[in-house]
Structure formats: structure tokens, C-alpha cells
Amino acid sequence: MSALKFVRSIWESFRATSGVEPRLIDGLRITAAEPGKVNFELPIEKQHTNRLGILHGATIATMVDTSGSLALASRGLYSTGVSTDLSVTYLNSGGQIGDLIKGEVICDKFGKTLAYTSVKFMNKHDQIVARGSHTKFVALAWKDDKNITEELKPEVNESKASEVTRTSFSHQVKS
């Protein structure tokens, strides 16, 4: 199964079973996924805005939380753990009703106990509007039978792997 297909299935599971995601960010669309990285976008609607008519910080914070989970799903975790830390830095307006906010989340470290993700958000002018980080406790998530972590390992760049092998071999020959 591709990372994109798996991540989209996890997103659909959130939408079907969670109380928060379907109410606040139901319109979120996963646009791309590979092991350790997910791209997404959200068309801004009234429920995403504050009383000033611009994207509410709570919407962005929710997307930091959810996208962090989706980044772990992109590595094959079905059960994506529980949050231990989440932070958001707001830099610019994310937009208003009718605009599109885009996000890219990366799994920075994927351990046996904790996983760390970072996300950046861009507005319609491709300006960074916010960045966030999310730490999740994943020790119990590793036990889920629905995980496909072996199937979604990041690919090793073959030319780099060959270069490392050649360098190691030539160093051994010279020694």
C-alpha cells in the first residue's frame, strides 16, 4: 500500500470516529504523502475563523495535532499515539473565508517511545503563516495489528548507498 493511500485511510478513520476533526477541519485534504512527510490543504470556511474574519489560531493548532498524527501514519502507524507536547508559532495571517491554507508536516524522529513532528503552514501568497511541533508517545501504538511500518519504510537513495559502500570499501582497501 502506498503512503498516500494509508494516510488517507487514517484521515478517514479520524473523520469517522473522532469528535474534533469532523467538526473543525472536515474539509482537510491530503494532497501528497511519502514515508515521513505529508502535504495537506484546507479551504478556509466560516467555522475556521475568529471574530476578525481571519483564520483562527485554534484551527491551526488542531491541524498541527492532526497532521502530526498523519505524519506518523505515513511511516506505517495505524494507531498514532497520544500527544505529550504541542506548540504553535503564529507569524502571519493564514487568510480569510475562501482562501486556501497549505501545510507540510515532517516526521523528524520516529522512535520506539516518542515521535517528533514539525509542520509549516503557507497562505495563498506562499508566505509562511505558522509553524508547529508535535511530540507523541507511541510505545503502545507500535503494538497495533493494523500497522504497516515494515511496508512504509523510507527508501534509501541508491546512488548515496552505493557511494557510502564505495567509500567504505576504498577506505578498507587503503588501510
How many CB atoms lie under 10 A from the CB of residue 162? 10
Q: What is the distance between the alpha carbons of residues 148 and 142, in angstroms, rounded to a whole number?
A: 10
Model confidence over 111-139: pLDDT tens digits? Answer: 999 999 999 999 999 999 999 999 999 99
What's this model's pTM, rounded to 2 decimal places? 0.84
pLDDT tens digits along 136-163: 999 998 998 898 888 877 765 544 444 4
Each residue of 4-16: pLDDT tens digit? 999 999 999 999 9
pLDDT of residue 170: 43
Torsion of CA 97, 37, 105, 98, to 10 degrees: 0
What is residue 152's predicted lDDT score, i.e. its pLDDT? 77
More confident residue, 164 or 89: 89
Section 60-76 average pLDDT: 96
Q: Identify the three-state secondary structure at position 127.
A: coil
One-letter amino acid identity for 52?
L
| Averaged confidence pLDDT in the chain | 88
Q: Which homologous superfamily is 3-174 in?
A: Hotdog Thioesterase (3.10.129.10)
Kindly indicate the confidence band of residue 23, based on its pLDDT and cuts at 50, 70 and 90: confident
Task: Give percent of the chain above pLDDT 90.
Answer: 75
pLDDT score, position 39: 98
In this prediction, residue 155 carries a pLDDT of 61
**pLDDT score at 1:** 80
